[in-house]
Amino acid sequence: MKKAAIYARVSTPDQHIETQLYQLREPAARRSFEVVQEYADIGVSGSKARRGGLDAMLAGAHRRRFSIVLVAAFDRVARSVKHFLTVVDELNDLGIAFVSARENIDTSGAMGRMFVTIIGCIAELERSLIVERIKAGMRRRRLNGNRLGRAPLSVDRDGLVRDRLSGMSLTNVAKRYGVSRASVVRFVREARRQSGEAVPCMAAAAEARPAAQCWM
């Protein structure tokens, strides 16, 4: 019975890592693999080369604890082709096969290794095209004179500043005008600077804050 390791990753903590693990345990049992270790990274982006679970899996590979690594999909291992192929090459150099369930790829054969390279390059090309389309759209909007980013808040800034400077609490001003506390601070600060008035600091005890801060 061949010894296998499972590697799973989810990008956010609210995703269920058990779903991936279950999907990998079943084919492992069907192929009579003995799963000796399960490695996981929870709430970690695939763009990060250094990850606790991935690093532990590679360390286990170097100790020859298993001869097969199973993953749910290529992108669970890495987002970039360079990093993905680095991991697969490292496993291949150690004589460890890489099996991806979604792509149905097994690098124990030459064809599997070829498909890994081809699919990885296609995925990288697709991401590059998406980025280029986004940049082209931004350039087009800029040339057409359209604003980039969020639209400015439609707020009675003069009234907001008057209420804040008259002594209304930061929280109450924010609620009254439907903006965040940070926006209130920013509007008051901008108003003071435009008028040439100095920007004072005051203790935040009145705002139920634990430490002093600049409020305008």
Q: Catalytic residue positions?
A: 11
Q: Which amino acid is at 102?
A: R
Structure token digits, residue 51: 């990850």
Q: If phi over 0 gives left and psi between -120 and 50 gives alpha, with beta otherwise, what is residue 179?
A: beta
The bridge status of strand 68-71 relative to strand 3-10 is parallel
* Distance from C-alpha of 188 to C-alpha of 169, rounded to nearest angstrom: 13
105 CB-side CA count, 13 A: 21
User: What count of other Cβ atoms lies within 10 Å of the Cβ of residue 164?
Assistant: 23
The bridge status of strand 34-42 relative to strand 68-71 is unpaired
Structure token digits, residue 35: 């799963």
Query: Do the Cβ atoms of 190 and 203 come closer than 8 Å?
Result: no
